[in-house]
Amino acid sequence: MTDTRIVTAAVLVIGDEILSGRTKDANMGFLAERLTELGIRLREARVVPDVPEEIIAAVNALRARYDYVFTTGGIGPTHDDITAECVARAFGVPLLRHPEAVRRLEAHYEPGQLNEARLRMANVPEGGTLIDNPVSAAPGFRIGNVHVMAGVPRIMQAMFDGIAPTLAGGDKVLSRTVTCDLGEGVIAAGLGAIAAEYSELSVGSYPYFRAGKFGTSLVLRGTDAARLSAATEAVRVLVVSLGGTAGLESEKSE
């Protein structure tokens, strides 16, 4: 067994519109996928409303606990965009107008269009560095281990693509999936035994209903390719021994 380098993250989605159901969040799923690809383990996600105390408490709880925190939402020009000031309060630093952010906004807007409301988007907590916004100029920022990004998925994704190369991932979690035509309950006992034997792997069982057929996806995840292969073979043999048909989805870094 080799040492595993584990890097962790949390996502904090900020916005009343998610909690009211008006907007369906798409950022959490995107970040979950991309972080996993980078070898960063998303360990928690939270959605909080546009309430300063809630945002501040969540930022402080998550940044103390995980290697990285990624926030989405609340960095536009209107009164309900309060993420930057809340992050400043969470870090106990003043909120400053960032000269480079002002310059980018000046370059983006037509003369006369850069009003005070839009200039608010240049406010960054002291010590923060900018995160590029190739879509609509107004930047996000990073302070400490917290990355503050836009809520609009297209902008958030572009911001994340920009910062991804700066993130230090740990050992990648490899994943293998065995699909079978057996019910979860049929395979549960044997699968539990395999999970106990390969306790350093994560073994998940997910029922599905596809193309008119019920089945179960058995997902094995871990950083040690050899152990993963051995456990996957054990699951395949288990399925066949129970009279099922096993399919193996191609290996990927999940």
Q: Which amino acid is at 160?
A: F
Would you say 128 or 216 has its CB closer to its own copies?
216
CA 65 centroid distance within chain: 15
Would you say 124 or 143 has its CB closer to its own copies?
124
Distance (Å, whole) CA 16 – CA 107: 31
Residue 184 as a binder of its own copies (CB under 8 A): the answer is yes
Selected binder of its own copies within 2, 22, 165, 241 (CB under 8 A): 22
3-state helix, strand, coil in the chain (%, to 5): 40, 30, 30
CB of 201 to its own copies, least distance (A): 11
Q: Which of 127, 131, 108, 129 is nearest to 118 (CA)?
A: 108
Residues 43-82 that bind its own copies (CB under 8 A): 43-50, 54, 76-81
User: Is 50 strand, coil or helix?
Assistant: coil
Burial class (CB in 10 A: 0-12, 13-18, 19+), 30: middle
Strands 95-97 and 140-143: unpaired
Would you say 123 or 143 has its CB closer to its own copies?
123
Selected binder of its own copies within 14, 35, 231, 235 (CB under 8 A): 35
Would you say 36 or 128 has its CB closer to its own copies?
36
Selected binder of its own copies within 130, 204, 227, 242 (CB under 8 A): 204
Selected binder of its own copies within 1, 64, 107, 196 (CB under 8 A): 196
Residue that has been written with the tokens 């002002």 in this structure: 102
Interface residues toward its own copies, by CB under 8 A: 16-25, 28-36, 41-50, 54, 76-81, 113, 115-118, 120-121, 152, 154, 173, 175, 184-189, 191-192, 195-196, 202-207, 209, 219, 221, 254
